[in-house]
Amino acid sequence: MIAAAQAGRFDDLPLYDRAIETMPREELRALQLAKLKEQVAYTYQKVEHYRHLMDQMGVTPDDIRTLDDIRKLPFTDKSTLRDTYPYGLFAVDLDDIIELHASSGTTGTPIVVGYTRADMDVWSDCIARLVQMAGVVPGDIAQMAFGYGMFTGGFGLHYGLQKLGCAMIPAGSGNTERHIKMIEDYGTTVLIATPSYAMHICEVGEQMGYDWEASSLRVGLFGGEPCPPALKAELERRMHIVCTDNYGLTEVMGPGVSGECLAQRFQQHIAEDHFLAEVVDPVTGEPVAEDQVGELVLTPLDKQGIPVLRYRTHDLTRLTTEPCVCGRTHARMDKVRSRSDDMLIIRGTNVFPSQIEDVLAGIDEVTPHYHIIVETKDGMDALTVETELRPEKMSDSFEQMERMRRTIADKLKGTLLVGVNVRLVEPGGIQRTTGKAKHIDDLRQR
């Protein structure tokens, strides 16, 4: 089936919910509007926080007459969920909540979200849809390498894959050698992980002498963090799989918001019957034109447990509604590479980690593993990039290594327009992760 897609044939690929996924856009927008009206009325009625805000702004649910009227509604930020922790935004009695999850955020008060049975059904439908879009079929054997804790990744993907009819192997994250053995012994066909953990699994497999080309593994369902094009290409080349990317966030559901189809390899279809997506200027909050990059704002259209309105994701992307060759009509978002809040300001210059990633990706001598350190030295910002050498590129010659280091520093400076201290690290020297990679240490005193 994937072979058909690779050959550019999409007509006979199965869709999880053909009527919804290929719905004409006019109808889709009408469906969104009907749901939005209901959702705003529900939220106003059930959640004191929103009722209070909307009263203050002089907006009532009856003011929502078109999809553009969503702009009359207040934004929601992570801080809203923190300030109302734990249950302040819940719209139902705890008796009606059947599962709780929490954000993976490491700083500040956590945020917690609750799902009703209906929310869980929508969630697993969204996942079943996106995994099928990625080439997974009923009968696939799917091995979970996300953790099964409060993180939405593990259980979210698990339920959806089961709903599609896959056999789940709930291995969880970590114990990488065991993952390889399970793939081999159980004939795993689908691997679920963050792209950085997938890279680690790939490397450990190679070190163990595992033959990825002969492996049963066919599809990588990766997500939870950016998967830059170079990393995707490397995973596909070394693991001999089709590597797909899916996106989501705890505050609006977890994974399941959008996923990559087999035709559009750098964009993801949004489940628009369940989410209304806007893209706004991250500073002014005003909408940007279709095709312009801005911050993604999401409103879940049928969430009962926590019905958030206009959630500011901080993720930077752009939307297109151009028809897709896969036949799906739902808008596509560019793969998220950066967040509005991960921009570093180095001596007055804006630097996105994704720019560093892209420069390193163009250098043959280094692996996709990198680490950025920002410090204050002599009262000034100092940027250090640690990059890991490929084993075959190591040299005993100090001069050769120094030349390589300088070339990389010059390339980084040429793109970033700030001086960078480059540190070459031996193969395997950059810490591997079993979850989301932490690429940046900002140690500046503020």
Question: Where along the sequence are the contacts to ligand DLL (CB under 6 A)?
Answer: 103-104, 152-153, 223-226, 245-250, 254-255, 313, 315, 335-336, 339
3-state secondary structure string across 206-261? HHCCCCCCCCCCCEEEEECCCCCHHHHHHHHHHHCCEEEEEEEECCCCEEEEEECC
104: left (phi over 0), alpha (psi -120 to 50) or beta: alpha
Contact 76, 308 (CB under 8 A): yes
| CB 105, min distance to ligand DLL, A | 7
| CB 126, min distance to ligand DLL, A | 11
Task: Indicate the residue among 142 and 404 with the shorter CB distance to ligand DLL.
Answer: 142
Task: Indicate the residue among 130 and 366 with the shorter CB distance to ligand DLL.
Answer: 130
| CB 208, min distance to ligand DLL, A | 26
| CB 414, min distance to ligand DLL, A | 26
CA dist list (Å): 70 to 33, 64, 103, 284? 10, 7, 26, 16
DSSP string computed for 160-214 = HHHHHTPEEE---S--HHHHHHHHHHHT--EEEE-HHHHHHHHHHHHHTT--TTT
| CB 29, min distance to ligand DLL, A | 25
Contact 99, 118 (CB under 8 A): no
Distance from chain centroid for Cα 97: 25
| CB 245, min distance to ligand DLL, A | 5
Task: Indicate the residue among 112 and 424 with the shorter CB distance to ligand DLL.
Answer: 112
| CB 326, min distance to ligand DLL, A | 18
Output the residue with the shortest Cβ distance to ligand DLL: 223
Distance from chain centroid for Cα 154: 14
Determine how β-strand 167-169 pairs with β-strand 190-193.
unpaired
Task: Indicate the residue among 246 and 304 with the shorter CB distance to ligand DLL.
Answer: 246
Task: Indicate the residue among 43 and 267 with the shorter CB distance to ligand DLL.
Answer: 267
Among 286, 230, 261, 269, which residue's Cα sits nearest to residue 6?
261
Task: Indicate the residue among 156 and 307 with the shorter CB distance to ligand DLL.
Answer: 156
Among 274, 261, 271, 187, which residue's Cα sits nearest to residue 221?
261
CA dist list (Å): 248 to 153, 333, 374, 406? 9, 12, 28, 39
Task: Indicate the residue among 335 and 365 with the shorter CB distance to ligand DLL.
Answer: 335
**CA 222 to CA 198: how far, in whole Å?**
8
**CA 72 to CA 407: how far, in whole Å?**
51
Contact 179, 171 (CB under 8 A): yes
Helix (H, G, I), strand (E, B) or coil at 370: strand
Task: Indicate the residue among 205 and 256 with the shorter CB distance to ligand DLL.
Answer: 256
| CB 243, min distance to ligand DLL, A | 12
| CB 329, min distance to ligand DLL, A | 21
Contact 250, 102 (CB under 8 A): yes
Task: Indicate the residue among 64 and 351 with the shorter CB distance to ligand DLL.
Answer: 351
| CB 157, min distance to ligand DLL, A | 7
∠111-94-110 over CA atoms, to 5°? 10
Q: Note if the bond before 226 is cis, omega within 30 degrees.
A: no
Task: Indicate the residue among 22 and 340 with the shorter CB distance to ligand DLL.
Answer: 340
| CB 257, min distance to ligand DLL, A | 8
* Rounded (to 5) percent helix, strand, coil in the chain: 35, 25, 40
Task: Indicate the residue among 44 and 159 with the shorter CB distance to ligand DLL.
Answer: 159
Counting DSSP H helices and E strands in the chain, the numbers are 12, 21
